[in-house]
């Protein structure tokens, strides 16, 4: 069934890769442990066009990353086109915080 705007689906296992990747990255200054693992579930859903237009994210090429820090949820997306489709190339990263509840 295709995704519906405003409705999310649980995806497990994820398609993040990492099944055969070893090791982790540790950032001691920020207290972060980063690991590739496709056994992480995530929620998939379509975002209304108005929300994407508001952040000018017209050429997101990868799945966005979301994380929570100090109780606030943030989203990061790599944007900037691709060489196989006619979009403008760049190396931009967009990050934004979701509204506080």
What is the model's pLDDT at position 3? 67
Q: Is residue 56 located within the same domain as residue 34?
A: no
Across 72-101, average pLDDT: 75
The total of structural domains in the chain comes to: 2
Residues 20-74 pLDDT 10s = 566 788 889 998 888 766 667 777 778 777 776 666 655 666 677 888 888 889 9
Global pTM value? 0.39
Name the phi and psi angles at 45, rounded to 5: -165, 160
Pairing of strands 72-79, 92-97: antiparallel
Across 81-96, average pLDDT: 70
Q: Is residue 34 located within the same domain as residue 70?
A: no
| Exposure on the CB side of residue 64, measured as CA atoms within 13 A | 23
SS3 (DSSP) at 94: strand
Q: Is residue 71 located within the same domain as residue 51?
A: yes
What is the model's pLDDT at position 9? 81
Q: Is residue 22 located within the same domain as residue 54?
A: no
What is the model's pLDDT at position 29? 93
Q: Is residue 41 located within the same domain as residue 53?
A: no
Strand ranges in 1-101 using DSSP code E only, listed in sequence order? 9-11, 25-27, 32-34, 42-44, 65-69, 72-79, 92-97
Q: How confident is the model at residue 6 (pLDDT cuts 50, 70, 90)?
A: confident
What is the model's pLDDT at position 77? 79
CB 48 within 8 A of CB 6: yes
Q: Is residue 59 located within the same domain as residue 93?
A: yes
Query: Taking the mean position of all CA atoms in its chain, how far away is CA 21?
Result: 20
- Domain range holding 19? 1-46
């Amino acid at each position: 069934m295709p995704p519906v705007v405003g409705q999310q689906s649980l995806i497990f296992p994820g398609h993040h890769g990492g099944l055969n990747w070893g090791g982790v990255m540790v950032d001691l200054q920020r207290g972060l442990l980063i690991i590739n693992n496709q056994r992480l579930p995530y929620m998939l859903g379509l975002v209304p066009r108005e929300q994407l237009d508001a952040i000018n994210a017209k050429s997101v090429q990868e799945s966005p990353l979301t994380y929570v820090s100090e109780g606030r949820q943030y989203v990061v997306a790599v944007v900037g086109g691709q060489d196989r489709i006619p979009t403008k190339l760049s190396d931009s990263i967009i990050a934004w915080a979701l509204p506080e509840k």
